Structure 1
Amino acid sequence: MQNAVEGYSLFTDFDVRLFRAGKHYKLYEKFGSHALLRNGVAGTYFAVWAPNAESVSVVGNFNGWNPYLHKLHVRWDGSGIWEGFIPAIGVGELYKYHIRSYQGETLEKSDPFALQSELPPKTASVISTTWYEWDDGDWMKIRYERNGLNRPISVYEMHLGSWVRDPNDPQRLLGYREIADKLVPYIKEAGFTHVELLPVMEHPYYPSWGYQITGYFAASSRYGSPQDLMYLVEQLHVNGIGVLLDWVPSHFPGDGHGLYRFDGTHLYEHQDPRQGYHPDWSSYIFNYGRNEVRSFLISNAIFWIERYHIDGLRVDAVASMLYLDYSRKEGEWIPNEYGGRENLQAIGFLRELNEAVYSLFPEVQTIAEESTSWPGVSRPTYSGGLGFGMKWMMGWMHDTLAYFARNPLYRQHHHGQVTFSLLYAFHENFMLPISHDEVVHGKGAMVQKMPGDEWQRFANLRTLYLYMFTHPGTKLLFMGCEFGQTAEWNHNQSLDWHLMRYQPHKGIFELIKSLNHLYQNEPALYEHSFNPEGFEWIEEGDAQHSVIAYTRRGIKRENDLLIILNLTPVVRYSYRCGLPAQGEWQVLVNSDDPDYYGSGIEQPVVQAEPVRWMNRDWSANLTLPPLAGLVLKRIPEKKKKRGGGAKKHAM
């Protein structure tokens, strides 16, 4: 028997104290496998937390998977950390931890801190490194500004395995580098400011889309090495595009090689299924009350930001973390110490997470997928909030999709669905999401949700997008929605890129380009995204005609925009609308433009008239195209003198 070499450790006593207190946020520098030199001898140091194990050894292809050859040593300090140095092995070797519990049970587990894993369905960990010679310094210097809450943030959400595949072999997933070469020019053309990747952490079950994670520190080997993913991030950064990651601290799967019952006990999860089992996803809930688990999760968040230069984390399923009775019936959950349904330990964890992230990386953002009316999700922790930078505006999404799915004939009876969001739009820092969840599981593609014939469906969708991009808040759109994919998202195949040859789909894409350009070049649309000063109704109550009109305002009043939506297929001639100010107003975007597959009903430059209307001193008669939206802006005096006319926003 030859045990791993004892007497060498990456842990100081201070590291151990921080870990046990739940305050060590860079555990990836200590735990896991680290190829290094010890006294001039090359080898690999291993460290794993298994406090209830009787013995732990490293098995791998280097020792014939023999659990008796390289046993680790438990630290003397009661931390439950097993460690040791094995000479003559390095990067590329496969390994697992062979754990024997005090009950006599034997387990083979992947390394929770592994930087790389075998290609699924194989499950061994791989000794790896995150060394990379980054070339995105210019982006890193300015990302504080580009990720700011007073800046335009337009996010393209995507799943790497089904965005595009090898056209010669549709079953082959493209690698991170191949995707980078195609994705960067596409995002630049479409005009999105950020890309958000569905989880790239290693997951054994591909149809989980990455939300059932077993390798929290490992970039999925389905698409290449850690350095390949870094190349993708770098290329996006070099081209001025931010990168967000979906992150899942809410639950993990019960696969035998993963975190579940890691050392033969419920180490990472609660033992009681009323606290530790998630009925919606048949997975297991982290024990946020255990200090070491909090350190593990917060370290993981910091890891992706530090090592992979990620610009923000979209935190999945926050609502399921906040409520002890989430998706549970009476008797299936345990109240907190005060008898309530709030998960006090999860609340504390989320606050600590955001405090840690923003203290170390104030230039990034955390975004909560939180579907309830929990107060202060995106408010500072010092004022009682959870500390997120933004929160998904799920209410807007549900109401808007329900409204646009209605036959226009009946929309007048549901007018409040399209205006209600402004009653609470500034309670949080909201991001408006049309995400992957809205185009799967029988919900239909976005264009198929719309009523009417083909032209009306595309016209409705164009109007919805114009409404989305001019509504307060940042934006998120799932891949395929930007060109009107007609089929539900299928993770097993590429998007239907051939549709871009057809005018209705090309028109949707051209509109998205124009809206992204408008959003980023008109300060009124982003300077007060989360402030009521940035929005004012002109007309919210014209249910009879299904028309709404509102103003978006920036810091300077000359940047004010007027947005007016006609939500019926009837052209509204001579529709008098109040204007925010006198002067001439030109159309910047008309979703009915023929370039977008619209009918071509135009609204020329209009002169404000001193006719009081809609509680405004100035107004004008407008021609409202059918199922369309207009964005108007006042022509500055100096431009009028040079003969400036109405111009459509274009890339």
Structure 2
Amino acid sequence: MRRCLNGPLLCSETGSGYSCTGLDHAGELAATLISLDPWLKPYGPVLVRRLEMVSLALKLLARHGSLREAAGTHLVCGPRYEDGTWRIGEWAPNATAIYLIGTFSGWEERPEFAFTRQEGSDIWEIALPEEEMPHGTLFRLRIHWEGGSGDRIPSHAHRVVQDPDTLVFNAQAWRPEPYEWRHGVMTEEGTAPLIYEAHVGMAGEGGEVAGFDHFTDHVLPRIKGAGYNTIQLMGILEHPYYGSYGYHVTSYFAVSSRFGTPEAFMRLVDTAHGMGIRVIIDVVHSHSAGNEVEGLSRQDGTPHLYFHDGNRGRHEGWDSRCFDYGKEGVVRFLLSNCRYWLETYRLDGFRFDGVTSMLYHHRGMNRCFTTYDDYYGDEVDEEALVYLALANRLIHDIRPSAITVAEDVSGMPGLALPRELGGTGFDYRFAMGLPDLWTKLIKEVPDESWDLDTIWYELTNRRHREPAISYAESHDQALVGDQTHFFRMAGAAMYDHMGIEDTDPLIERAMALHKMIRLITFATASGGYLNFMGNEFGHPEWIDFPRHGNNWSGHYARRQWSLVDNSELKYPLLANFDREMTALITVGGLFGESPIRLLGMSRIKKWLAFERGAMVYIFNFHPTQSWVDHPVSVSPGDYSLHLSSDAHRFGGQGRIEEEQRFFSFPDAKGEHRIYTYLPARTAMVLKKQEKQEKKVIGHRS
């Protein structure tokens, strides 16, 4: 078995390279994928080659025993405590010497704290008794190489802290009393995710950096009460720049200490599980911060240990480093990162950030993907595609109930298909075109000119059998420089006219469209739905983290929960609607393979209706015109009003009578219709009754 991690992953020791036709039935899997999308037929040889690459990578990694065992670099590298002894390992092929420095050595090199290079390996290791490095001790590595040296944080450090005065980062020996888990891991499979995207640090209201304990005690109950079953946490992996949202990671195995201790994060996950809520985190394997002391850049003195050398190793748009997915050590490092978070913190999955940047040599920057050639040409980083397939296989092998979500704007075919169908293995992809659609309409097009054909196409345009997470807006729309949808529609009026009795027309328009946009996005979703923290109640203003440009103020890096708690304001009314909207998932007929049947649409009258499961959804986007006795073609049956966006409890005008019943009647052609009153800027959800009552009620309502 080759112990060196520095070689290419996709190169066997016998020199067979990619010549592995037929491995794991690559041809059959490619044929299955093509059967789902016949437009892929011309690219059959490319599909076979990529599937063979995955099979070969699995076989080569199997030299370590299994894929899970190959994903075990965190069991060799980084600080590990074993029977009164600290053992610290580091992958550093280019190093000539490594010393452990810290408070115990006066931050100086000492012979007794020198690492030893393991024979036949690129791993350096040191062992020292616990009394030399007790709990809480700060330390670093001082790595020497030909022509230089530098201080580094261990690549697999589990705890990294920042000095509040000097702002310097150090690793910290961490061995508290073990956390006692109260709840088991979430094992339920198949439940569609209703995702509450959240950021722990800005979950407080005071403008300071909030922590895990605050989130657990004060925000988790809100999420549970709002009806969401999955939390997607941003910025959990350690990152030096707070304003990066956690997307410039430096320590991949360390919980960000600015939010609290590892045990506090465990309590958050454990408490969420007790509420029946899954916890997934953003994992950033698409790039890494360029920091050298506290990051991975030039870890052993070379710029290409974890990353590509030269221009390919730098993401100019993000000012970061790009991983080399063709190197065995890098792939095992990233796979181990997935395993570590699943096993140590009992997470329920991951949202993979920046997948488009991973998949293409051009990083997807300023590119439009208009032809299948874009997915199967020379610009595709096939090594990255192999890594993503390996990561998904590992995650689902460890935790079959785990969910993985790909943030990809390109639409790469097969990305969210299981490996049994020839796919990469993600459970879901993000429907990233939807927030762009809504932002463009709200920002640039008067709503009397909204094109319902375009809206409907974007809402329902999806790859066959590849579930997507739909969302109207995420944190991206809330950042400074942009605006949340509600803030953009309401403008300055929200500062003075959100009183419960206020009838300001700008606010009424913003509230009406906010509800309609979210409902139609939710009801047409194929896999799940996402909302960013606070946007469900129309949180005002934007997000702006402390930075030089705002005099390091945290005023806008917060959530104003007091607004939704104030019954004198309209924010709770929007929250009420969101809560009843998410509750529609329990009614049935949403997400999954449930088909959507368009019942009617008018570009002139600005209305549309569709059927899904036992529910009929009717929207009137016209800003001024209400429609009386409006016919809607439906399946034969008896329908009751289940939800109205115009109800008083949602901040509407109450123009639709509650508890209405609608009976379908056939026309001369035998087509069944119901007749409804559709007020301007409203949406209704009707539920088909299991049995039609014998009592006859007039069909006009």
SS of 1:428's partner is: coil
Given candidates 483, 486, 494, the residue that maps to 1:447 is 486
**1:552 and 1:505, CA in 2 relative to 1: closer, same or farther beyond 3 A?**
same
Aligned to 1:499: 563
Is the 1:22–1:295 Cα contact (8 Å) retained in structure 2? no
- Give CA deviations for 1:77-112 in whole Å, capped at 9, x if unaligned: 1x2100121122233211111100022x11100011
Cα deviation for residue 507 of structure 1 reads: 1.1
SS of 2:259's partner is: coil
Superposed counterparts of 1:74-223, under 5 Å: 74-77=117-120, 79-87=121-129, 88=131, 89-103=133-147, 105-119=148-162, 121-129=167-175, 131-137=178-184, 140=185, 143-145=186-188, 147-148=189-190, 151-165=191-205, 167=206, 170-171=207-208, 173-223=209-259
Is the 2:204–2:214 Cα contact (8 Å) retained in structure 1? no
Given candidates 508, 511, 528, the residue that maps to 1:458 is 511
User: Could you tell me how far apart the structure 2 residues matched to 1:612 and 1:342 are?
Assistant: 55
**1:425 and 1:472, CA in 2 relative to 1: closer, same or farther beyond 3 A?**
farther
The answer to which of 450-459 and 199-208 deviates more is: 450-459
User: Could you tell me how far apart the structure 2 residues matched to 1:643 and 1:34 are?
Assistant: 74
Given candidates 460, 467, 470, the residue that maps to 2:523 is 470
Cα deviation for residue 378 of structure 1 reads: 0.4
Cα deviation for residue 328 of structure 1 reads: 6.0
TM-score, reference length from structure 1? 0.86
Aligned pair count reads 593
Given candidates 453, 459, 478, the residue that maps to 1:421 is 459
Given candidates 557, 580, 597, the residue that maps to 1:536 is 597
User: Could you tell me how far apart the structure 1 residues matched to 2:665 and 2:126 are?
Assistant: 83
- Give CA deviations for 1:237-280 in whole Å, capped at 9, x if unaligned: 11111111011001111112110010001244444333110011
Aligned to 1:319: 356
TM-score, reference length from structure 2? 0.80
- Give CA deviations for 1:329-370 in whole Å, capped at 9, x if unaligned: 99xxxx99x971000110111111111111121110110000
Given candidates 462, 471, 474, the residue that maps to 1:435 is 474
Is the 2:94–2:145 Cα contact (8 Å) retained in structure 1? yes
User: Could you tell me how far apart the structure 2 residues matched to 1:116 and 1:374 are?
Assistant: 36
**1:367 and 1:129, CA in 2 relative to 1: closer, same or farther beyond 3 A?**
farther
Superposed counterparts of 1:496-575, under 5 Å: 496-500=560-564, 501=566, 502-519=568-585, 521-525=586-590, 529-531=591-593, 533-539=594-600, 541-553=601-613, 560-569=614-623, 570-575=625-630
- Give CA deviations for 1:399-442 in whole Å, capped at 9, x if unaligned: 2443455322212x463233333232645210013210122142
SS of 1:304's partner is: helix
Aligned to 2:56: none
User: Could you tell me how far apart the structure 2 residues matched to 1:575 and 1:221 are?
Assistant: 58
User: Could you tell me how far apart the structure 2 residues matched to 1:227 and 1:523 are?
Assistant: 38
Superposed counterparts of 1:301-340, under 5 Å: 301-326=338-363, 340=378
Cα deviation for residue 567 of structure 1 reads: 0.8
- Give CA deviations for 1:23-46 in whole Å, capped at 9, x if unaligned: 611222221112232xxxx33111
Aligned to 2:328: 291
User: Could you tell me how far apart the structure 2 residues matched to 1:50 and 1:231 are?
Assistant: 35
SS of 1:508's partner is: helix
**What fraction of aligned residue pairs are identical, expressed as a percent?**
25
Letter in 1 for 2:622: T
Q: Does 2:261 correspond to 1:225? A: yes
SS of 1:132's partner is: coil
User: Could you tell me how far apart the structure 2 residues matched to 1:468 and 1:329 are?
Assistant: 26
Letter in 1 for 2:572: K
- Give CA deviations for 1:592-617 in whole Å, capped at 9, x if unaligned: 1110100111155243243349x972
User: Could you tell me how far apart the structure 1 residues matched to 2:217 and 2:98 are?
Assistant: 43
Cα deviation for residue 546 of structure 1 reads: 1.1
User: Could you tell me how far apart the structure 1 residues matched to 2:418 and 2:146 are?
Assistant: 45
Letter in 1 for 2:169: T
Gaps of 5+ in 1: 1-13, 554-559, 645-651
**1:597 and 1:349, CA in 2 relative to 1: closer, same or farther beyond 3 A?**
same
Letter in 2 for 1:454: I
**1:129 and 1:387, CA in 2 relative to 1: closer, same or farther beyond 3 A?**
farther
Given candidates 409, 412, 416, the residue that maps to 1:378 is 416
Aligned to 1:6: none
Q: Does 2:100 correspond to 1:58? A: yes
- Give CA deviations for 1:206-255 in whole Å, capped at 9, x if unaligned: 11111111111111111111001001111111111111101100111111
Gaps of 5+ in 2: 1-59, 368-372, 491-504, 546-553
Is the 1:562–1:580 Cα contact (8 Å) retained in structure 2? no
User: Could you tell me how far apart the structure 2 residues matched to 1:612 and 1:316 are?
Assistant: 52
Is the 1:609–1:618 Cα contact (8 Å) retained in structure 2? yes
User: Could you tell me how far apart the structure 2 residues matched to 1:50 and 1:459 are?
Assistant: 59
Letter in 2 for 1:342: V
User: Could you tell me how far apart the structure 1 residues matched to 2:382 and 2:61 are?
Assistant: 26
Q: Does 2:282 correspond to 1:240? A: no
User: Could you tell me how far apart the structure 2 residues matched to 1:187 and 1:346 are?
Assistant: 35
**1:616 and 1:300, CA in 2 relative to 1: closer, same or farther beyond 3 A?**
farther
Cα deviation for residue 641 of structure 1 reads: 7.8
Is the 1:21–1:291 Cα contact (8 Å) retained in structure 2? no
Q: Does 2:665 correspond to 1:610? A: yes
User: Could you tell me how far apart the structure 2 residues matched to 1:44 and 1:579 are?
Assistant: 69
**1:562 and 1:134, CA in 2 relative to 1: closer, same or farther beyond 3 A?**
same
Given candidates 630, 640, 650, the residue that maps to 2:684 is 630
User: Could you tell me how far apart the structure 1 residues matched to 2:365 and 2:227 are?
Assistant: 42
Given candidates 395, 398, 406, the residue that maps to 2:433 is 395
